[in-house]
Amino acid sequence: MDGGQQLIASYELLLQQSKSMLELARRGDWVALLQEKSCGLVDAERLRQLEARASLGQQEQLRKVELLEQILALDAEIRTHLLARRDELGRLIMNSSRQRELNRTYRPVVGAALVYQAADRFDKGLP
């Protein structure tokens, strides 16, 4: 396999990885998505190396453009899912922070009931 064919094969592999990542994002499997993404970073480095060495013919150049367009479209949809997840996590963090603040503000203070009982007894003139 020459350099051009290797390059096209690598882009096709990257397209398959992008499809897999999109499916994981749609399912909300964020751990698996991150694992898949880290594997994709290694492949991106390999692509850069192949790009530097490969000379593409016209058909290969057209195929590369077609693959890149598909990859970019998938990446845009993946990004949409990631942004929605980020927003969801932000809301959860805000709700958690509010809940902590409410708990701190309104939690019963230890011994407060005894103080109120003593004050009530004092007002009535009881010992």
Q: What CATH number corresponds to the domain at position 69?
A: 1.20.58.380
pLDDT at 119: 55
Number of domains into which the chain is organized: 1
**What number is the average pLDDT over the span 87-111?**
80
Q: How confident is the model at residue 43 (pLDDT cuts 50, 70, 90)?
A: confident
Could you list the residue range(s) of the whole structural domain that residue 60 is in? 3-123
Say if residues 84 and 92 touch (Cβ distance below 8 Å). Answer: no
pLDDT at 104: 78
**What number is the average pLDDT over the span 37-63?**
84
What is the reported pTM?
0.71
CA distance readout (Å), 52 to 45, 46, 66, 72, 104:
11, 10, 20, 21, 60
Q: What are the tens digits of pLDDT across the range 54-88?
A: 888 999 999 999 999 999 999 999 999 999 999 99
Tokens of 91: 């809301």
pLDDT at 108: 63
